Structure 1
Amino acid sequence: MDNSLKYRMLKYKTKNNIKLALIATTILAVSCSKKEKVYIDKEYVKPKIVKEASSAFQSPEESLNSFYLPEGYKIELVASEPMIDEPVTLAWDGDGKLYVAEMNTYMQDIDGTGTKRSISKIKQLIDTDGDGKMDKSTVFIDSLMLPRMILPLGDGELVVNETDSYDLWFYKDTNKDGVADTKKRVYGYGARRGGNLEHQQSGLLWNLDNYVYTTYNPVRFKFKKDTVISEKISHMPRGQWGLTQDDMGIMYYSTAGGENPAYGFGQPAQYGDFSPKERLEEGFNITWPIVGTPDVQGGPRRLKEDGTLNHFTGVAGQEIFRGHKLPSNMYGDLFIPEPVGRFIRRAKVTNDNGLKVLKNAYHETEFLGSTDLNFRPVWSQTGPDGTLYVVDMYRGIIQESNWTREGSAIRPVIKRKKLDKNIGKGRIYRIVHEDFEPDQNPTLLNKSAKELIEYLGHKNGWHRNTAQKLIILKEDLSIIPDLKELSRDNEGGFIQKWFGDDSKDYGLERIHALWTLEGLGEVDKELIIEKFSDKDPRVRITAIRLSERFIENGETDLFNYFEVLAKDASVEVVNQLALSLRYNDTEQSTSLLKKLQEKYEENISIAHSTKESLKKDDEVLNALKIRIKDKPSKTSVLRGYDIYNQLCITCHGPDLKGLPKEDGSLVAPTLIGSKRVKGDKTKLVKLVLNGLIGEVDGVDYGVMMPLKDNENIWIADVLTYIRELNDEDAVSSWGDVGKTRQRNKRKDYWTLEELEKSK
């Protein structure tokens, strides 16, 4: 039975009770005849741990034998060397062509010699026979400097960002030969991007809300057919390598520097970082590899008695799985690659009274583990075929050269295991299940906007998001009536339940229809009000978010509806209302927020949302602006504020007092009241230029990376901001940083003892 017939049946109204009875009987018969297999992962017996594995390269076929997965799951090779070399991320276009970014100069020896050469590539891979394995490869873009972000748009179109740059470049293959032949900068930022390459932006994620997000930068983008619009948003979480979203556009961040596997998913990113400690179950950060981990930066303190990694440290490339060709109990789970520990964690995303909580899906076991020391999972992603893909950089050294220098804990291990010799390879895998056949390649690029509408309710989240993106890029306004009709159809869930049609989630279909309308510039107030009472709470949440443009304009007629939504049975709906009301400065908004604050003071999420919304402003930044209003260093302080929140915040925390770990200790020492910050400016600059190793005030925080690759003004600005919050004078770009850089001949990290003795 096709969908249009189902709609007509359900919408058909009759007073004839006999007809209604017949329909009800048919519904019952169909629903009872269809049974879905229930999948419950069986605990698999963890294999004996290989404490001291060989570091020798294994062939792709040999590596497949090194993996351990739960019963029923299999791992398949999609591509390997020589087709790909040093892969770090991937993305598909609407027809399933796979783009792979390679960092071909990354750590080619223990010192990272030649890292900044512009010889890296982006490949285009195609599976021509539909067997799931790539068999055609072209160099889509050559001569790049460590490409780190890619976003496919239309046919042969790719947006790219390179390391040490904020710029976004639009490449296009106009003659369909698999090689880009035109290039245009669509976003530029005057300054060169500073910081170690591990601590720069990742992402270019086209979110459900039609903005494109990255991890570090406080900027988001909207892509139109002929232009890119940027918008500054200073409250966003800042992660490192990897960015993913769930069905509602909630993004999940991670940071290796802060050893934080997952955060920022307590609310949509534009409302700020909400990451309470309760978001992770107790013991979540304890890891369960199956191979000894000799090359961990923290040394022995980061190892268990059996020699395996005891805590997340290299987390990267996480993914909320939203595919349809693996067991349904896997949908919505978070997968976290750990390249240092050579495993991938599967986390269940549970709901505790409106608070998302992550729990390991297995007891003292990981979803995927390998005994191959060169297995380096750095990215994971839901594929258009409905399976889970994994990017394996497959190499010896995974840490960047700032962490492998003389004096580091891992340099002797790298030499002993000869890990520095293992370069120039790479693999892409997909995880499948014995009970499912992966889909074939999609064909979305040449479909009209009207034809793409049906994919807004596809079971695979990749299809839904890709269809939404392509419709918006086509800018075909003739389909707006169709999208409105689709978003108004509240009956899909009834059909899905009774007729056993599990091809679509009709609530999600309505959500994508609404956001697609937003992307086309059509936010209908009447429709939004209608959706306030949609039977699916996720649609009600979407309607509240879309009403923010009216809230910002001070349209108080919506408050009659908000008063009703404040009593909604769903705490998630109430929480979204608390978040959105921050955009309205009226007394009605404040009054309603205070009522919610009082009623939900025991609810972690709503209590946080009401507290933040009642601020109605960025108190930190406003206080800073007032503080420096008449100071000549004002511009430098504000630039430093941005730099700090892009780089330093992940270790030193938003308040400069050090970011707390799960056990209460700090990732990095406090900068408030620090003798290094308040002391000699020259020594502070030297510390920042070369980095720091060893104890700080009796505590070993690991390694502070050198920042000498950044320009003098960059270093001066961030240090001026930090010193301003310590009531100290500014650091000048040339007088303090430039001269110190010229005189500083040191190549290695400082220890505090050596720094104090230095002239």
Structure 2
Amino acid sequence: MPAKQLKKSTLAIAALGLIGLPALALHTKNAGPAEVKIKFNLPPPAPLSPEEALKTFKVEDGFRMELVAAEPLIEAPMAISFDDQGRLYVVEMRGYMRDMEGSTEGEPTGRIKLLEDTDGDGRMDKGTVFVDELVMPRSVMAVNGGALVAVPPNLFFCKDTDGDGKADVKEIVATDYGTAGGQPEHMANTPTWALDNQIWSAGYSSRFRLRGGVWQKDAGLGRGQYGLCQDDQGRLYFNYNSDLLRCDLLPTEAFSRNPLLRNATSVNAKVVTDQTVWPSHPTPGVNRGYDEKTLREDGTLSTATATCGALIYRGDAFPAEYYGNAFIPEPSANLVKRMIVSEKDGIVTADNATQDREFLTSTDERFRPVQATNAPDGSVYIVDMYRGIIQHTSFLTHYLIANIEARKLDQPIDQGRIWRIVPDNQKSVKATRVPAETSERIAMLSHANGWVRDTAQRLLVESADATAAPALTALVQSKDAKPLARLHALWTLDGLASLAPDTLRSVLKDDDVTLKAAAVRLAGRDLAPELLALTGETDALVQAQLAIKLSSINLPDTDVALAKLLATSGSNLLIREGAMTGLRGREDAFAKMLAEVSTPENDTQTAPVFELLGNLIAMAGKALPFEETLTLAAAQPKGSKVQASLIKGLANPAGGSSKSAAKPKLLWLEKEPESLAALKASVTSKSSTGEFAKISARLAWVGKPGAPQPPKIVPLNEAQQARFEKGKVIYAGLCAACHQPHGYGLDGLAPPLVDSEWVLGKPDITARIVLHGLAGPVKVSGRTWNLAMPPLPHLTDEDVASVVTYLRREWEHNASPVEPEAITKLRAEFKDRVGMWTSDELLHKK
């Protein structure tokens, strides 16, 4: 039954509080029960004017809500960003869910509006269409005199050069920023200029940097769903729809160096354990309302289900105790939560500021807060989409559709508000504008408002004004300046490529640990002697940054220092994970070095490190390092913590954190290793016995009882070897940016190719993907990727055969090569193919 035909029957039965007819759910794989019951027979809520909506808010004592902008000045606001003059860029996603089929999402009705407060009363009164005719725009970020605008699959830089408020420049920065026509709640969003002068995004695995007006792209990690912000130290915060807050505790780019650290806790760290929410009115219209655990007896949502757009408050308008708090919108529950963020030994956690009530709630069911942001006036701004339907069509359940129809939540669709939260004692609102003079911008780095500091730093870096360096250096070295001002000055110097080694040397000796940790992060190989002198440092964040840096330098002295650091502090999760970021491919050698300094007195520190090293070696799936580590384990004292940790690590290639991980591949050895028998005799505990059995089952050699026939490795002939070399060049130019030179892929962008069943299976499948592309979802090594691999039709048959041969023989792969004639035959067989393949089509073709 079409959704529009449900309306009459739904309304009639809703009067009885029961629906006996199946409603239409567009998310067919997880639509919930077809027979649904509306649990709370509430009357359809009337749409409210901004003035009426204002009366529905209940905000924490000492604060009030103010209207900044509303329809008709803005429509369907999704995201905002302030420029340095206090003007406000607004994303208007006007094509989103105008009906339950989402039938208008392909129309170019979206736009970016530029709002101004011309009379200084704190209310926006002028709106100019900055960019229009956009299909489902996603995000905006003020930068470089213009704005980055996300319109999947593109990220544009748009700029007004003639002063009329309308963009006349529109340059493409990236073409992989989401997917055209994809799920809007699962695509790249919220580009954010962070303290490190990198532009990071949620749901996107690359980062950008602006140097001399040129956009540079580099690897990162994909995490988060919608929304991104930072704290004073530059740590990135984000969330998922049912997970209120997460954080990258350590620099994200470090973890992109080791693709096997996908399960690291130091990035994408869970900050909040209690996902409880307390709406101020019944909220039956949530997607899983049919589940008994979703709604309380009073009809209120019990735990978060649509969390997005979180904020770490860094303004100067609220009382001091609110600084650093997290403000988290939950649009399905019509509320904004406040949480108190704490840190201990580098680990960040957050707890509810109050119990049984929230910082901000509304009884208006159309109040849909989707983003909270710091503002130039020190307050908190809230973006309110103001609509009934918030769930995307592809995820609508029978239950939610019934509620929408019964309670007339499908209309209106072209409204939206932006609100400001201010203290009651603040009578007037005055935004800070960042001046154009370099000296005044440097002074702004000492401002109490984090938005002002961030913007001043960004403008200084964008200016590329090298004359700012002396004053910035003086600020960094000033003992009288605020530590935060010195930190911003340090990163500004780095952004200007004007950070002198002597300046870093002085900061490495500073008493402020935040500054010292930043200096370690910024130090190069030339400062290795100074870094070695810090191994006695006791602060966890400094130690973690030091572990990252020492492992990346990869010199004998730095490796020895790293081993000594872990022998005293390896039990700290951040420090041991930081150490692993630069050890890819040499974990077994480092394990031997660590064993030399490990003793019964420090094994509490080293044992967790050995387990992690074992995890990574097992995950890499290479026979020689695995055997070397097995020998190391056998050489440890019988029943020792170190031995048990190595065994546990080698037995758990997924680190014990992934139940869906694929079965690890068999490792072929030349003969039965002597260490295996020695290790078996050393194993005493029940747990170690089971783990040893996993290790033994993974190893194979000729003559081992029950082992299959060893793989037959046929050497490449001269022509095939030539194609392999050609394929290597093609891969480096076309494929490595996404799948990476190491072949382990990039989170959120490209799955791994190493040991992939798609690469090592039937050669025609890999070739067909290269020829026509592959549209997700696709399961690779036990993990599902919902991405698209574009076709490469410009490659010749010789090119395709070369790159597929390379994939099937690189990274210790032993699969058969591919001949150009086979590609010619495939191209002819599927000459009429237009769309990308799906995994089902490829797997079920006879």
Q: TM-score, normalised by structure 1?
A: 0.73
Alignment match of 1:158 (pick from 146, 169, 176) = 146
Assess if the C-alpha contact under 8 Å between 1:236 and 1:271 holds in 2: no
Q: Which has the larger radius of gyration?
A: 2
1:263 paired to 2:251: no
What's 2:366 paired with? Answer: 374
Assess if the C-alpha contact under 8 Å between 2:272 and 2:349 holds in 1: no
> Identity, % of aligned pairs?
30
Assess if the C-alpha contact under 8 Å between 2:247 and 2:269 holds in 1: no
| CA shift for structure 1 position 736 | 11
Could you report, residue by residue, the CA deviation over 1:727-751 in whole angstroms, capped at 9, with x for unpaired residues? Answer: 9999x9989999788799xxxx99x
| CA shift for structure 1 position 73 | 1.5
The 3-state SS of whatever aligns with 1:454 is helix
Assess if the C-alpha contact under 8 Å between 1:299 and 1:410 holds in 2: yes
Separation in structure 2 between the aligned mates of residue 743 and residue 215 of structure 1, nearest angstrom = 26
Alignment match of 1:614 (pick from 547, 564, 583) = 583
1:304 paired to 2:295: yes
The 3-state SS of whatever aligns with 2:237 is strand
* CA shift in 2, pair 1:108/1:739, >3 Å: farther
**Structure 2 matches for 1:443-458, cutoff 5 A?**
443-445=433-435, 447-458=436-447
* Gapped regions of structure 2 (runs ≥ 5): 1-38, 256-261, 588-615, 624-664, 666-722, 794-799
Assess if the C-alpha contact under 8 Å between 2:308 and 2:370 holds in 1: yes
Assess if the C-alpha contact under 8 Å between 2:138 and 2:152 holds in 1: no
Separation in structure 2 between the aligned mates of residue 365 and residue 560 of structure 1, nearest angstrom = 53
Separation in structure 2 between the aligned mates of residue 475 and residue 412 of structure 1, nearest angstrom = 57
Alignment match of 1:343 (pick from 321, 327, 335) = 335
1:586 paired to 2:555: yes
Higher relative contact order (CA 8 A, sep 6+): 1
Assess if the C-alpha contact under 8 Å between 1:523 and 1:546 holds in 2: no
1:472 paired to 2:472: no
* CA shift in 2, pair 1:631/1:409, >3 Å: farther
* CA shift in 2, pair 1:617/1:757, >3 Å: closer
| CA shift for structure 1 position 278 | 11
The 3-state SS of whatever aligns with 1:580 is helix
What's 1:23 paired with? Answer: none
* CA shift in 2, pair 1:535/1:108, >3 Å: same
Separation in structure 2 between the aligned mates of residue 114 and residue 564 of structure 1, nearest angstrom = 62
**Structure 2 matches for 1:174-573, cutoff 5 A?**
174-175=162-163, 177-180=164-167, 182-185=168-171, 187-189=173-175, 193=179, 195-225=182-212, 227-233=213-219, 235-256=220-241, 259-272=242-255, 274-275=264-265, 280=270, 283-301=273-291, 303-306=294-297, 307-404=299-396, 408-437=398-427, 439-445=429-435, 447-492=436-481, 506-547=482-523, 550-551=524-525, 555=526, 558-573=527-542
What's 2:12 paired with? Answer: none
Separation in structure 2 between the aligned mates of residue 425 and residue 341 of structure 1, nearest angstrom = 19
| CA shift for structure 1 position 426 | 0.3
* Gapped regions of structure 1 (runs ≥ 5): 1-48, 493-505, 657-670
The one-letter amino acid of 1:469's match is R
The one-letter amino acid of 1:172's match is D
The 3-state SS of whatever aligns with 2:332 is coil
| CA shift for structure 1 position 437 | 4.8
Assess if the C-alpha contact under 8 Å between 1:186 and 1:228 holds in 2: no
Could you report, residue by residue, the CA deviation over 1:160-200 in whole angstroms, capped at 9, with x for unpaired residues? Answer: 3333223322321423x3223x2141524489835422221
* CA shift in 2, pair 1:468/1:736, >3 Å: farther
The 3-state SS of whatever aligns with 1:340 is helix
Deviates further, 429-438 or 82-91? 429-438
Separation in structure 1 between the aligned mates of residue 132 and residue 290 of structure 2, nearest angstrom = 41
Alignment match of 1:575 (pick from 509, 532, 544) = 544
| CA shift for structure 1 position 610 | 2.3
| CA shift for structure 1 position 288 | 2.3
* CA shift in 2, pair 1:192/1:375, >3 Å: closer
* CA shift in 2, pair 1:646/1:53, >3 Å: farther
* CA shift in 2, pair 1:467/1:282, >3 Å: closer
The 3-state SS of whatever aligns with 1:232 is strand
* CA shift in 2, pair 1:115/1:624, >3 Å: farther
The 3-state SS of whatever aligns with 2:410 is helix
The 3-state SS of whatever aligns with 1:410 is helix
Instruction: Work out the number of aligned pairs and report it.
Output: 638
The one-letter amino acid of 2:404's match is I
Separation in structure 1 between the aligned mates of residue 99 and residue 69 of structure 2, nearest angstrom = 25
What's 1:500 paired with? Answer: none
Q: TM-score, normalised by structure 2?
A: 0.66
* CA shift in 2, pair 1:163/1:478, >3 Å: closer
1:172 paired to 2:160: yes
| CA shift for structure 1 position 588 | 1.6
The 3-state SS of whatever aligns with 1:100 is strand
| CA shift for structure 1 position 108 | 0.8
The 3-state SS of whatever aligns with 2:61 is coil
Separation in structure 2 between the aligned mates of residue 736 and residue 427 of structure 1, nearest angstrom = 55
What's 1:28 paired with? Answer: none
Could you report, residue by residue, the CA deviation over 1:291-330 in whole angstroms, capped at 9, with x for unpaired residues? Answer: 3333333342251333332332222111111000011111
The one-letter amino acid of 1:268's match is P
The one-letter amino acid of 2:250's match is Q
Assess if the C-alpha contact under 8 Å between 2:246 and 2:272 holds in 1: no
Assess if the C-alpha contact under 8 Å between 2:150 and 2:189 holds in 1: no
Could you report, residue by residue, the CA deviation over 1:86-140 in whole angstroms, capped at 9, with x for unpaired residues? Answer: 0011111111111111111111111011212112111111122322211222212
| CA shift for structure 1 position 625 | 13
What's 2:572 paired with? Answer: 603
**Structure 2 matches for 1:713-732, cutoff 5 A?**
none
Separation in structure 1 between the aligned mates of residue 724 and residue 428 of structure 2, nearest angstrom = 60
Separation in structure 2 between the aligned mates of residue 243 and residue 57 of structure 1, nearest angstrom = 30
Assess if the C-alpha contact under 8 Å between 1:53 and 1:373 holds in 2: no
